[in-house]
Amino acid sequence: MTTQSFELEVVDVVEETADAHSITFRVPAGAEADFAFRPGQFLTVAVPSDVTGLAARCYSLCSSPADESGTLTIAVKRTADGYASNWLCDHLREGDTLRVLPPSGIFTPASLDADLLLFAGGSGVTPIMSIARTALARGTGRIVVFYANRDERSVIFARELTALAAAHPDRLQVVHWLESVQGLPTPEQVRAFAADRTSYDAFVCGPGPFMKMTVAVLKELGFPRERRHQEKFVSLGGNPFGDLPQAEQAAEEIAAAEGEAPEPDGRPDAAGLVGPVRLEVELDGETHVLDDWDPATRMLDHLEARGIKAPSSCREGECSACAVRLLEGDVTMAHNDVLDDEDLAEGIRLACQATPTTPVVRATYS
């Protein structure tokens, strides 16, 4: 069982810059609750492919849940030699449809009333735009955007940002950083920018080196982990649109043909746990208690098998859509490409990769 995908109609495509298009989808009637989102979250889209059937890719929403327009907008920037981004920019037109998974992700402010320090580089502006728009519409805090680009022509949403800053002079300040004029931002320059704002909630999204440098500066300045957020733009390797029971069935058939029993989940019960584990999970204000977690099954698969609609996207430990925080017990992860040491120390784990190492595990999605 996987999260249900929806066929969404494209209602608008805008060439924002020479290499970035924004794409607006209409939320299908009856699916409004599925597509309710928090600013900073992303959609996962299925890009058709002659080679693999589809390529699944995540794109952050740049629109705001405060819009109430019944539409969702993403912005896609072409990646040099990339497959999906170029396909989306070249082929998608108004009236087309695309398979889309509902919004997910944890790059989202805990409070819209907080003061926000938003760092964007290039296409990393998409979730930042949604956070800024929403906080301005529904929150009360001050918002500062540091937006780095190669040159003036590559600035996505330049007009919108100017208009927002003009409409909210007391709350929004936007600082554009152009590499063509000022060179790449240095740690000293970012430090000078952030030093007076150490009480703000910081969000960073952009190219790898930009994020690494900015996050290192924020750490140095003493921003605690809960006020330091980053979103990594990576391509998914897996296919979250696939049907898991079918995949499991296929694995069993292959193993049977080879004359051996399949190892569930591809890994033995490393913790030596025998018998089922008790799993308690808080999700959307509800606590689910499951007494039958097979220690060789991943947490996300177990929740889904019991009919619980838990958030997920890549299912490969590459995004953070399925992140949970442990409250009791522990798990081990088969693969983790997103959580750093501090995340792990705080008990954050990826449910799609987690198998239990203790007889009781309590976790929360909040």
Ligand X SMILES: Cc1cc2nc3c(=O)[nH]c(=O)nc-3n(C[C@H](O)[C@H](O)[C@H](O)COP(=O)(O)OP(=O)(O)OC[C@H]3O[C@@H](n4cnc5c(N)ncnc54)[C@H](O)[C@@H]3O)c2cc1C
How many DSSP H helices and E strands does the chain contain?
9, 18
* Residue 266, SS3 per DSSP: helix
- Residues 22, 24, 60, 154: which binds ligand X (CB under 6 A)? 60
- Residues 231, 294, 301, 304: which binds ligand X (CB under 6 A)? 231
Binding to ligand X, residues 247-306 (CB under 6 A): none
* Residue 229, SS3 per DSSP: strand
Q: Are 192 and 220 in contact (CB under 8 A)?
A: no
* Residue 76, SS3 per DSSP: strand
* Residue 55, SS3 per DSSP: strand
User: Please, is 71 exposed, middle or buried when counting C-beta atoms within 10 Å of its C-beta (0-12, 13-18, 19+)?
Assistant: middle
41 near ligand X, judged by CB under 6 A: no
Q: Are 236 and 319 in contact (CB under 8 A)?
A: yes
The least CB distance from residue 130 to ligand X, in Å, is 10
The least CB distance from residue 91 to ligand X, in Å, is 12
The least CB distance from residue 8 to ligand X, in Å, is 16
Binding to ligand X, residues 325-354 (CB under 6 A): none
The number of residues that bind ligand X (CB under 6 A) is: 27
319 near ligand X, judged by CB under 6 A: yes
Stretch touching ligand X by CB under 6 A, among 111-119, 170-178, 229-237, 289-297: 229-237
The least CB distance from residue 16 to ligand X, in Å, is 11
The least CB distance from residue 292 to ligand X, in Å, is 32
CA dist 277 and 303 (Å) reads: 13
The least CB distance from residue 299 to ligand X, in Å, is 20
Closest CA to 62 of 171, 172, 160, 176: 160
**Where would I find the beta strands (DSSP E) of the chain?**
6-17, 20-26, 42-49, 53-60, 71-77, 97-104, 116-121, 143-149, 172-178, 201-205, 228-231, 277-283, 286-293, 323-328, 331-333, 348-350, 354-356, 360-364
In the bound state with ligand X, the residue whose beta carbon lies nearer, of 78 and 362, is 78
The 72-91 contact track toward ligand X, x by CB under 6 A, reads --xxxx-x--xxxxx-----
In the bound state with ligand X, the residue whose beta carbon lies nearer, of 84 and 303, is 84
Residue 175's Cβ-side half-sphere holds a number of Cα atoms within 13 Å equal to 15
CA dist 248 and 143 (Å) reads: 47
In the bound state with ligand X, the residue whose beta carbon lies nearer, of 115 and 231, is 231
Binding to ligand X, residues 93-122 (CB under 6 A): 105
Binding to ligand X, residues 118-177 (CB under 6 A): 123, 126
In the bound state with ligand X, the residue whose beta carbon lies nearer, of 55 and 215, is 55
Whose tokens are 């290192």? That residue is 216
Residue least distant from ligand X (Cβ): 82
- Token pair of 255 as six digits: 């193993």
234 near ligand X, judged by CB under 6 A: yes
Stretch touching ligand X by CB under 6 A, among 56-64, 171-179, 277-285, 299-307: 56-64
CA dist 365 and 234 (Å) reads: 22
In the bound state with ligand X, the residue whose beta carbon lies nearer, of 241 and 332, is 241
Residues making contact with ligand X (CB under 6 A) = 42, 49, 51-52, 55, 57-60, 74-77, 79, 82-86, 105, 123, 126, 231, 233-235, 319
